[in-house]
């Protein structure tokens, strides 16, 4: 699948193209540098592979991805230089096989986008972060991956079920520990292998 050429400006090598009606498994943007129009994905597509001469595009449009077979969103990284079309509701919704590990990053790239009714939780042992309390630990006792900041504050001693934290392997966010008393020997995160903010492609970006 290729896109429609709109204009070509050779003075600054700007080549403007229309976004295809629907993205297929393979999309060739050719020598386009600027893209315009809504971004939709065919319902039977599980992966989108983009090709072209540009590694990232200047995109003015509207993200609408719903009821697809998509299993990852790595192709959206090419559209981070983004301007929203006016009066166009954006969403990533109803994709039953799609795990959106870090919705906050997508909302930073595409302001105003709604993300809901996709695969949740993303894995059998994944849960959201938050303030660590006795009840939180009880509710997340089987979790090995915690998505979002994990906050330990205002403790006056350790919860009786603190050992649950030994199961934690990954924290997709920050580990924040402050204003506590009586923590003593605190090695409950010794089994953590990754900590930071995951990118859509699955790696981990440094926290800022």
94, 118 contact by CB (below 8 A): yes
Residue-wise DSSP of 155-170: -BS--TTGGGGGG--E
- Token pair belonging to 131: 């303030």
70, 48 contact by CB (below 8 A): yes
pLDDT tens, residue by residue, 19-28: 999 999 999 9
The fold for domain 126-205 equals 24 nucleotide stem-loop, u2 snrnp hairpin iv. U2 a'; Chain A (3.80.20)
pTM beyond cutoff 0.85:
no
47 or 184, higher pLDDT: 47
pLDDT tens, residue by residue, 82-120: 999 999 999 999 998 898 877 878 988 999 999 888 886
Question: What integer pLDDT is reported at residue 7 of this predicted model?
Answer: 53
**Does the pLDDT at position 2 exceed 60?**
no
**C-beta atoms surrounding 82 within 10 Å:** 19
Give the single-character DSSP code of 138. H
Question: What integer pLDDT is reported at residue 10 of this predicted model?
Answer: 47
Domain ranges in the chain are 4-116, 126-205
- To the nearest whole number, what is the mean pLDDT of the chain? 87
The C-alpha angle with vertex 177 and arms to 206 and 146, in degrees rounded to 5, equals 60
**Does the pLDDT at position 131 exceed 50?**
yes
């Amino acid at each position: 699948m290729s896109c429609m050429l709109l204009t070509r400006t050779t003075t600054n090598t700007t080549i403007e193209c229309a976004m295809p009606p629907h993205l297929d498994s393979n999309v060739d943007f050719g020598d386009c540098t600027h893209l315009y129009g809504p971004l939709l994905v065919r319902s039977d597509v599980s992966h989108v592979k983009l090709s072209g001469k540009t590694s990232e595009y200047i995109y003015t449009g509207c993200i609408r991805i719903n009821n697809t077979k998509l299993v990852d969103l790595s192709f959206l990284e090419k559209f981070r230089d983004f301007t929203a079309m006016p009066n166009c509701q954006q969403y990533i919704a109803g994709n039953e096989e799609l795990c959106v590990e870090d919705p906050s990053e997508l909302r930073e790239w595409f302001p105003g986008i709604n993300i809901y009714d996709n695969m949740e939780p993303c894995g059998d042992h994944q849960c959201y972060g938050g303030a660590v309390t006795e009840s939180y630990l009880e509710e997340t006792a089987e979790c090995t991956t915690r998505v979002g900041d994990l906050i330990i504050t205002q403790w006056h001693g350790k919860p009786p079920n603190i050992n649950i934290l030994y199961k934690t392997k990954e924290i997709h966010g920050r580990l924040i520990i402050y204003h506590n008393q009586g923590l003593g020997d605190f090695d409950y995160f010794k089994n953590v292998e990754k900590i930071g903010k995951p990118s859509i492609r699955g790696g981990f970006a440094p926290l800022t």
